[in-house]
Structure 1
Amino acid sequence: MPADRPSAHGPRRETVQEHHLRAELSRIAARQAGIVTRRQAEACGLTVGAIRARLASGRWQRAFPGIYATFNGPVPRDALRWAATLCGGPLALLSHESAAEVWHLRDETTGCLHIRVPLTCQVASRPGLVVHRSARAEQARHPSRLPPLTRVEETVIDLTQTARSIDQAVGWLSGSCERGLTTPSRLLATLGGRGKARWRAELVDGLRDVARGCHSVLERRYLRDVEVPHGLPTAARQTRSVVNGRSRYDDVRYEQWKLVVELDGRMAHPCQTRCDDRWRDNVTLTGGLAVLRYGWGDVIDRPCLVAAQVATMLRHGGWRGSPVACSPACRVEAE
């Protein structure tokens, strides 16, 4: 800006117009978490030399080429999100893991920023920025959130398409619904709007299971691999009860036969967690219900043996049915 050029007679006083332009740049930066583009800076009167001077002095720093943080020190995550979308151009949206952070679909942040752009956009991925091209960029845009990002349903379906496994993909579906961010019907409609989708049939099945009350991948695997194929009675899921003034939810409850099945999908079990689990089990037992607790290895590697144990406890509770073999090799009836 002209005011940055010293004269032989000392600093020149800026004009009213220059003052207004400087104020406008400050307002733009404030709206964008301190981030501005080169085009925005030049539109507000800064010359290329003035921008370079700010960068050289450390007053500004470069987030991406042509994208600047108008402050020094660490760049916060919200500022980086703005920098990513501005780098992608006016039609760019935060997407995938970066949109998941904003929607609180995940509790941790990832290193790279992810944006979605139209197919015709020329911006390329670069260190720290992953660019996804899509014909649905505009339809996916949330109508009011800033910085621009994909709607929560679009974000979830995006994440299912980059998941490493179908279980991880279904985990995004169940997790988003468990957190109250969306519903199975909305996700199903969004999935239906995709021309191509990996694991479409499996995702549709997963959404049906979520609608039936499965709030985790392990609960879905129990339903799909243990309960249904072995002819066990249909359980209630995520049943709420109040114990000592505190709400608790049982993963799988066979109320009529006084049995609760707890499914623990955590990979690690710190001491406090084990203590809490024992306390929950003891409270359940004192309430007159038996408790069986299973983890990933049980449900995925030994579903027939799990079904046999559950059937045995159901019979103790008065169930008059019998489990059925899920395959010629299944030994559920022999256990």
Structure 2
Amino acid sequence: MTTQPDHDDAADGGLHTPRGHRRQRGLDRRARVRSAANATGGVLTLTHLRELGVSYDETRAEVDAARWHRVGRRTISVVGPLPASDVALGWRAVWDVGGDACLDGVSSLLAWGLTRWSTDRVHVSVPRTARYHRVDGVTVHVLRRRGRVVVGSGVPRTPPEVAALRAAMWARTDREAATVLAIGVQQRIVHPARMLAAWSAIARCPRQPLLSRLVPLVADGAQALSELDFAELGRARGWPEPDRQVVVTTPRGRRYLDVRFTRYSTICEVNGVQHYEGMATMDDALRRNAHAIGGDTALEIPAVALVLDPDPLLDQVEQALRRGGWQGPTHVLR
């Protein structure tokens, strides 16, 4: 007598056959791994995979089938052939460099949530005594005193105030250094007081003279300092002494003008970095001022420009003073 099987293998895709069980185990394994990789941007190390119960042979089978991809010395991507996000690139850098590496500089700021900034390199730091590996796309900074590393939720990284200072030190240009400091504070990633405290602990560094002026400006203990810088630059050009903090009445009420050359109908507002989104507005200020020169002229002076590149704005103030009747010593306009 013929008996019917208790279950139709064809109806369930053959999952109850030995081959079906193996396929189901593979599906379960991949789902388990993807779930674990969600927090790291889709990448894991070989050690992580072993801890998840995935053997070396099973990992190699997934890579050979192009479902997973080897993207570094220790790193496997389970979502595609390349790390798909800044999060994945950060974890890959830390794992593959080794040597107790952590994100630092601008890469640490990005991990803390910095926006409207991009970089083509991942920056990590390691202690001077570390043994580490070079990795494509990663810049390794070997530091004598690295300080505290934040480990916990997310990729290991330096605190925001330290990261911002190092980002400025390692920036390609002075303008980029000022920009990354400014937007870190503007976006409230970096706490100004903590940045000042971290700066006071640094004995020497690249861009020491520049950063000694920029850090207080960006932390905005700075408005008075900015106005003093403006006054010194004006005296060097032979300008008349202006009136300062003049009270005027406007339709919106009383306000203070930072600098007013009353006799020459010229007003200058020295604005700290809280007025700006990045440094692109330095160029915007130059353009707005160019349109404003003439009549009773009001010019804006970004405070950071007084440190980075003051001459173009000072030239505009001088043009406005001359339009107002000043006939002092001639300065060669650029």
- The 3 A distance-change label for structure 1 pair 33 and 176 is closer
Q: Secondary structure at the match of 1:196?
A: coil
The one-letter code of the counterpart of 2:159 is: R
Q: Secondary structure at the match of 1:59?
A: coil
- The 3 A distance-change label for structure 1 pair 300 and 118 is same
Separation in 2, partners of 1:113, 1:220: 38
2:48 is aligned with 1:78? no
Aligned to 1:226: 233
Aligned to 1:93: 102
Separation in 1, partners of 2:235, 2:181: 21
Q: Is the 8 A contact 2:242 2:260 kept in 1?
A: no
2:142 to 116, 133, 144: 133
Aligned to 1:102: 111
Aligned to 2:10: none
Aligned to 1:118: 127
Separation in 1, partners of 2:102, 2:90: 10
Separation in 2, partners of 1:281, 1:173: 29
- The 3 A distance-change label for structure 1 pair 105 and 243 is farther
- The 3 A distance-change label for structure 1 pair 171 and 200 is same
2:67 is aligned with 1:62? no
Unaligned runs of 5+ in 1: 1-7, 237-241, 245-249, 317-321, 324-329
After superposition, give the CA deviation of every residue in 1:239-266 in whole Å (9 maximum; x if it has no partner): xxx999xxxxx9x853694724589964
1:254 to 237, 254, 259: 259
The percentage of aligned residue pairs carrying the same residue is: 17
The one-letter code of the counterpart of 1:116 is: S
Separation in 2, partners of 1:201, 1:55: 52
The offset of 1:67, in angstroms, is 0.3
- The 3 A distance-change label for structure 1 pair 154 and 12 is same
Separation in 2, partners of 1:115, 1:24: 30
Q: Secondary structure at the match of 2:233?
A: helix
2:15 is aligned with 1:10? no
- The 3 A distance-change label for structure 1 pair 144 and 136 is farther
The one-letter code of the counterpart of 2:61 is: A
Q: Is the 8 A contact 1:188 1:204 kept in 2?
A: no
Separation in 2, partners of 1:301, 1:281: 18
- The 3 A distance-change label for structure 1 pair 59 and 155 is same
- The 3 A distance-change label for structure 1 pair 20 and 121 is farther
Task: Provide TM-score, normalisation by structure 2.
Answer: 0.64
The offset of 1:73, in angstroms, is 5.7
After superposition, give the CA deviation of every residue in 1:38-88 in whole Å (9 maximum; x if it has no partner): 111123332222111111111111221120111236523322222222323
- The 3 A distance-change label for structure 1 pair 22 and 175 is closer
Which structure has the greater CA radius of gyration? 2
Q: Is the 8 A contact 1:227 1:233 kept in 2?
A: no
2:202 is aligned with 1:194? yes
- The 3 A distance-change label for structure 1 pair 95 and 291 is same
Aligned to 1:173: 181
The one-letter code of the counterpart of 2:259 is: Y
Q: Is the 8 A contact 1:225 1:303 kept in 2?
A: no
2:151 is aligned with 1:146? no
Q: Secondary structure at the match of 2:150?
A: coil
Unaligned runs of 5+ in 2: 1-16
After superposition, give the CA deviation of every residue in 1:163-211 in whole Å (9 maximum; x if it has no partner): 3444543443334333333354322221232343123343222233342
Q: Secondary structure at the match of 2:71?
A: strand
Q: Secondary structure at the match of 1:64?
A: coil
Q: Secondary structure at the match of 1:126?
A: coil
The offset of 1:15, in angstroms, is 12
- The 3 A distance-change label for structure 1 pair 235 and 50 is farther
Aligned to 1:204: 212
Separation in 1, partners of 2:231, 2:75: 49
